[in-house]
């Protein structure tokens, strides 16, 4: 029996990844700028009887801005997973509303990757999966170690095709 109830009896998890951490660069940069601006505003507020209220408003606005610009992207990053099992490619995402997509390995026709200059420096890229069916091409952006992931997925697809061929030959 498997420890993950969403997997079939003879299915095993091979690889699970989140989007590359580079997706958090912009939100973290904005959060740092917001904190810096709030600290500058705190210093520039004159010391008088109304100062505590003004400082409290600046702090509240800064906290709200950081929550909007940092916490939501971090949660989105954390709740997005790409999983390779011995039978399928699984994509899960969403913070409050979860979305999932499963692509059987037997339906995958081609697996390739694309890497820009920044991707090459950071070790990430886009995985391009072509499958038989209504959706055709699936683009998975910001995959860490994309070449390794592509090679692993390709190997799993080949193993699944061999398994299905053996099953067909063994059936009368």
Distance CA 142, CA 127 (A): 8
**Is 2:11 a contact under the CB 8 Å cutoff?**
yes
Q: How far apart are CA 153 and CA 19, in angstroms?
A: 16
Q: What pLDDT digit, counting tens, does each position of 67-110 carry?
A: 888 888 999 999 999 999 999 999 999 999 999 989 999 999 99
Residue 80 near residue 144 (C-beta atoms within 8 A) = no
Ordered by start, the domain boundaries in the chain are 13-172
Contact 75, 95 (CB under 8 A): yes
pLDDT at residue 172, as a whole number: 66
CA proximity to 93, closest of 111, 75, 107, 105: 75
Q: What is the mean pLDDT of residues 2-18?
A: 84
User: pLDDT tens for residues 34-80?
Assistant: 888 888 887 887 766 566 787 788 888 888 888 888 888 999 999 99
Rounded Cα distance between 112 and 130, Å, is 9
Q: What percent of the chain has pLDDT over 70?
A: 94
pLDDT at 21 over 90: yes
Q: What pLDDT score does 119 carry?
A: 93
The mean of the pLDDT values for the chain is 88
Highest CATH level, class, for 13-172:
mainly beta
pLDDT of residue 1 exceeding 50: no
Q: How much is the pLDDT for 37? A: 86
Q: Read off the tokens for 5.
A: 């109830």
């Amino acid at each position: 029996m498997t420890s993950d109830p969403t997997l079939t009896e003879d299915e095993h998890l091979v690889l699970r990844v989140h989007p590359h951490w580079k997706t958090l660069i912009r939100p973290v940069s904005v959060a740092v700028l917001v904190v810096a601006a709030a600290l500058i505003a705190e210093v520039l507020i004159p010391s008088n009887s109304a100062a505590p209220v003004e400082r409290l408003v600046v702090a509240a606005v800064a906290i709200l801005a950081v929550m909007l610009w940092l916490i939501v992207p971090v949660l989105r990053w954390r709740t997005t997973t790409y999983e390779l099992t011995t039978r399928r490619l699984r994509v899960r995402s969403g913070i409050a509303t979860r979305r999932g997509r499963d692509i059987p390995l037997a339906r995958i026709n081609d697996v390739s990757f694309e890497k820009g200059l920044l991707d090459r420096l950071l070790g990430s890229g886009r995985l391009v999966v072509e499958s038989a069916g209504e959706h055709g091409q699936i683009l998975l952006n910001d995959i860490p170690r994309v070449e390794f992931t592509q090679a692993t997925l390709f190997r799993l697809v080949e193993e699944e095709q061999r398994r299905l061929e053996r099953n067909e030959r063994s059936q009368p």
